[in-house]
Structure 1
Amino acid sequence: MNAAVKGKYEYDSDKMATSAISTIAIPAGDLKLKASMSDATFTKSPSFSGLSLSLEKPGSFIFHYDVPNQDFRFQFMNSIRVLEKQLNLTYIHNRADNRTVLDGTLVLDSCNKVSANHMMGSDNGKFKYTYVHQGHTTFEPSYDLSKNSWDFALSRRVYGDLLKASYQTSNHKLGLEWSKNSKRIGCLKISALFNLAEEVKMPKLMAETTWNIDL
Structure 2
Amino acid sequence: MKATVKGRYEGQKSSSAATVSFTTGDLRLKASITDATLLNAPSLHGLALSIEKPSAFLVDFNIPKKDVRFQFMNTVRVMEKPVSLTYTHARGDNRTALDGSMTFDPANKVSVNYVFGSGNCRVKYAYAHGELRRTVFEQCYDFSKNAWDFAVSRKFEGGDSAKATYQTSAKLLGVEWNRDSQINGSFKISASMNLAEKNMVPKLVAESTWNFEM
Give TM class, smaller chain: over 0.9
Identical-pair percentage: 52
- Matched ranges for 1:22-101 at <5 A: 22-101=18-97
Structure 1 stretches lacking a partner, 5+ long: none
- Residue 178 of structure 2: aligned partner: 179
Hey, what's the Cα distance between the residues in 2 that align with 1:200 and 1:165? 21
Aligned residues: 211
1:118 aligns with 2:117: no
| Superposed displacement of residue 123, structure 1 | 2.2
CA RMSD of aligned residues (A): 0.8
Hey, what's the Cα distance between the residues in 1 that align with 2:92 and 2:163? 35
Name which structure has the greater RCO, CA cutoff 8 Å, separation 6+. Answer: 1
| 1:171-214 residue CA offsets vs partner (Å, 9 max, x unmatched) | 10000000011112101111000111112332111100100011
Within the candidate set 92, 99, 102, 2:98 is matched to 102
- Residue 156 of structure 1: aligned partner: 154
Hey, what's the Cα distance between the residues in 2 that align with 1:73 and 1:119? 15
TM-score, L = length of structure 2: 0.97
| 1:106-160 residue CA offsets vs partner (Å, 9 max, x unmatched) | 1101110101001001121100001000111000000011111000000011223
- AA aligned to 1:58 is P
- Residue 131 of structure 1: aligned partner: 127
- Residue 21 of structure 1: aligned partner: 17
Structure 1 residue runs of 4 or more that deviate by more than 6 Å after TM superposition: none
Structure 2 stretches lacking a partner, 5+ long: none
- Secondary structure of the 1:171 match is coil
| Superposed displacement of residue 88, structure 1 | 0.2
Hey, what's the Cα distance between the residues in 1 that align with 2:175 and 2:93? 33
